[in-house]
Amino acid sequence: MSQSTIICYGELLLRLSAPGRGLLLQTPSLDVHVGGAEANVAVSLARFGHRVGAVGTVADNALGESAIGELRRHGVDTRFMRSRPGRMGLYFIQAGALQRPSRVLYDRADSAFTRHTDYDWKTCLEGAGWLHLSGVTPALGLACADSAIAAAEAARAAGAEVSFDGNFRSLLWRAWDADPPAILRRLMGTASVLFADHRDMAVVLGAECDADSIEDKVVQAATQAFKAFPHVRYMACTQRRQVDVDYHVLSAMLVERDGSVHTTPSCTLAHVVDRIGGGDAFAAGVLHGLVTGMAAGDALRFGFGAACLKHSVPGDFNLVGVEDVEAFLSEDGFHVRR
């Protein structure tokens, strides 16, 4: 589809989860998936037919080799994925049930990704039309923050567009002497597409939105973002209402710099299989729409469809294709395809 490559930079992780709805180590086994915010976007875009490359560093052992192989299996170009001394970044998840929420435990300190942060960005970005980053990478430490900023600024200098997902992870930021607003402002300042909402803007710009409805808060936050970051053309986000861990109501919005506001109807997700990676699926879907020339409202709708479908797929990666999303968005989306 896209003639230029989309590059995704971030840490590739192993996800270890308690089977079913059990507590961590309630049984002596864990389910393993490969994931990570930027890798999730890369896999989804590859399955939508794009040329996608991943940049990052994994442990130089069987765990890292297997993780890279999983990206490659889904069509992601891994020539700029490196194996270096250090440990593999991990995270553990304990799925919730009823009113017991899910829990995430990070175990990624001193990983190979955080220890080896220098990349030849001129080479990595050669022929790239887009660079996708998220707020997870700079939250991992000063060296990772500097590396993310270097990547974003190199992309801008090379004429590539930058998309940035706020993905604010307070647990990661609190682990070191960080200044999240200053770092995130530099990254958002390079972005053409911003995946963020009013809460992200409150953190980054220190300006609370005083509107009554969530939709008006998002529009107000987008206006603040456009004023602060002159490169940003679109700001998009989802809104989620949870009745319990299995029953969610999802909708989405996209605001353009010219003030145009696009929204989706709400979708009831009554039997959620796995919500992890839903925001990444949304980002990938919106990017797919924008890169292929869809109007902003259609790109939002496609991203929303991808996000909804991700809730039916176990693991971090959204393994659906363009036809799956289009079928979901059509009236016959629930028919059996034979």
pLDDT tens for each residue of 257-268: 999 999 999 999
Does the pTM surpass 0.85? The reply is yes
Q: What average pLDDT does the structure give for the chain?
A: 93
| Confidence (pLDDT) at 332 | 55
Q: Residue 320 pLDDT more than 90?
A: yes
Q: Residue 335 pLDDT more than 50?
A: no
The residue ranking higher by pLDDT, 179 or 97, is 179
| Confidence (pLDDT) at 147 | 98
Work out the widest C-alpha separation in the chain, in whole angstroms.
56
**Are the C-beta atoms of 106 and 93 separated by less than 8 Å?**
no
**Are the C-beta atoms of 315 and 278 separated by less than 8 Å?**
no
CA separation for the pair 285, 19 (Å, rounded): 29
- Site of tokens 């958002």: 188
CA separation for the pair 32, 335 (Å, rounded): 31
CA separation for the pair 244, 241 (Å, rounded): 9
CA separation for the pair 222, 201 (Å, rounded): 8
Give the mean pLDDT of 9-31: 91
Which stretch, 72-76, 238-242, 275-279, has highest mean pLDDT?
72-76
In CATH, the number for domain 5-235 is: 3.40.1190.20
CATH class, domain 236-338, is alpha beta
Note the pLDDT tens digit of each residue in 101-124.
888 888 999 999 999 999 999 999
Query: Do the domains spanning 5-235 and 236-338 agree at the CATH topology level?
Result: yes
List residues bridging with 248 in a β-sheet. 242, 269
Pick the range with the lowest mean pLDDT from 309-313, 327-331, 333-337: 333-337
Domain boundaries, the chain: 5-235, 236-338
CA separation for the pair 277, 39 (Å, rounded): 10
Q: Could you give the angle at the alpha carbon of 286 between the alpha carbons of 280 and 288, nearest 5°?
A: 100
| Confidence (pLDDT) at 331 | 67
Q: Residue 4 pLDDT more than 50?
A: yes
Q: Residue 217 pLDDT more than 70?
A: yes
Of 244, 232, 218, 248, nearest to 184 (Cα)? 232
How far lies 189's CA from each of 93, 168, 233, 334, in Å? 33, 16, 11, 41
